[in-house]
Amino acid sequence: MIIHSTDLCDLVEMSFFGGQNVLLSQGGGGNTSVKNSAGTYLWIKASGFRLSEVTHLSGWLGVSINKLNRGLKDSFLDKLSLREAHEISTKRVQEASSETSLRPSLETTFHAWLPDRLVLHTHSVWANCFSCMKGGNKLLSDTLQIAWIEYVTPGFLLGKAVAESYANQQNNSFLLENHGLITTGASPSEAICLHETLRPIAERIFGNFPDHTSITPPNREITTWANEFKHACLTMGHLVTARPPLRDYLRSKTTICPTQGALVPDDVVYGIHAVKIIPGGTGGKDWFKIHGPSPGMEVFWLTDLGFILVGPTEQAVNTMEENLLANVMLHDLIQRVGNVCHLPQEEVDYLVGMESERYRQMVALYKTT
């Protein structure tokens, strides 16, 4: 199936909007899609791409909605536990695409099952001020009519929840608890305007958003700590990137760690659910001797010094920093007005299991190529 040039332009325009601000999408988070006029086929941002990387030439792929529905609207799935259904459906979403080199997002289900031509989904900090706050639903519903979707694991279950909500209310704005925002429309401007509706409301209720753009060199003490840890890892054959955040906002002087846990699923991917608190006076080399190298991605909080991000590559650490920025800013903003609502521990454990499975698959893949 060939994408029509108007559809492609609209997909790129919406993706540009979602990808131009780190407060809307962090790393490869968020996605966009457009359907053909018959509503039988959709083109969606590919998994692993940033929204800002969706261009006329790359970053998207086609998915047959009929094929997807044949795989997912199957009574066999209804007989399974929710978690088993989620895992089988993930494979079936991938099979609904004819592409072999790109994978459709796990979130393809709600894109396919919402009838509007265009769907825009971001992990907007403006939206998540409400979606990650205890009582956020009530606070927002006093001001704005929007469908509130209680938290479910992204993928098949979320697709079902959004489709059911649409069937009941025919809404075109959905706030996903502990996750983000979906808006839909017939044109990019419709979907974007609905997305923008939340921004002034959040700024009025939560106050001025702190400046997160200023970047200055970190102090020598924390840089030395990161270098010591990195070199200790290297001497044992583990090549890692370890550095303090680049943004001043994430290095502002606080005596207690400014994050208290995972707010959204991506926080679990980037180690923000389990920040290691390192007591003052423990050097990077000392910490390595006690705890060894970091498995995957880890965030450290050094008492009185600040964060250190540890990951396999500079690119991974950049993405970690963007997600940490959203998490810390949400804690900051929400606590001005009320209480933060963290992801339930049971869900964190489930997502950790999914991540380690993905990691095992990646290791297996590298071993065979």
Contact footprint for Zn ion (CB under 5 A): 180
Spatial CA neighbour of 126 closest among 26, 220, 195, 214: 195
Q: In the complex with Zn ion, which residue's Cβ is closer, 18 or 218?
A: 18
Q: Toward Zn ion, which CB reaches closer, 191 or 302? A: 191
Give the shortest CB-266-to-Zn ion separation in angstroms. 8
Residue number with CB closer to Zn ion (147 or 310): 147
CB of 92 to Zn ion, least distance (A): 19
Decide whether 127 or 250 has the Cβ nearer to Zn ion.
127
For residues 110 and 307, which CB has a smaller minimum distance to Zn ion in the complex? Answer: 110
Task: Supply the minimum distance, in Å, between the C-beta of residue 342 and Zn ion.
Answer: 17
Q: How far is the CB of 320 from Zn ion (least distance, A)?
A: 17
C-alpha atoms less than 13 angstroms from C-alpha of 210 in its C-beta half-sphere: 18
Which CB sits closer to Zn ion, 30 or 311?
A: 30
Nearest-approach distance from CB 45 to Zn ion, in angstroms: 11
Q: Which is nearer to Zn ion, 31 or 294 (CB)?
A: 31
Q: How far is the CB of 154 from Zn ion (least distance, A)?
A: 6
CA atoms within 13 A on the CB side of 146: 30
Secondary structure string (H, E, C) spanning the chain: CCCCHHHHHHHHHHHHHHHCCCCCCCCCCCEEEEECCCCCEEEEEECCCCHHHCCCCCCEEEEEHHHHHHHHCCHHHHCCCHHHHHHHHHHHHHHCECCCCCCECCCHHHHHHCCCCEEEEECCHHHHHHHCECCHHHHHHCCCCCEEECCCCCCHHHHHHHHHHHHHHCCCEEEECCCEEEEEECCHHHHHHHHHCHHHHHHHHHCCCCCCCCECCCCHHHHHHHHHHHHHHHHCCCCCEEECCCEHHHHCCCCCCCCCCCCCHHHHHCCHHHCEEECCCCCHHHHHHHHCCCCCCEEEEECCCEEEEEECCHHHHHHHHHHHHHHHHHHHHHHHHCCECCCCHHHHHHHHHHHHHHHHHHHHHHHHC
Nearest residue to Zn ion on Cβ basis: 180
**Least Å distance between CB 180 and Zn ion?**
5
CB closer to Zn ion out of 71 and 180? 180
Shortest reach from residue 30's CB to Zn ion, in Å? 6
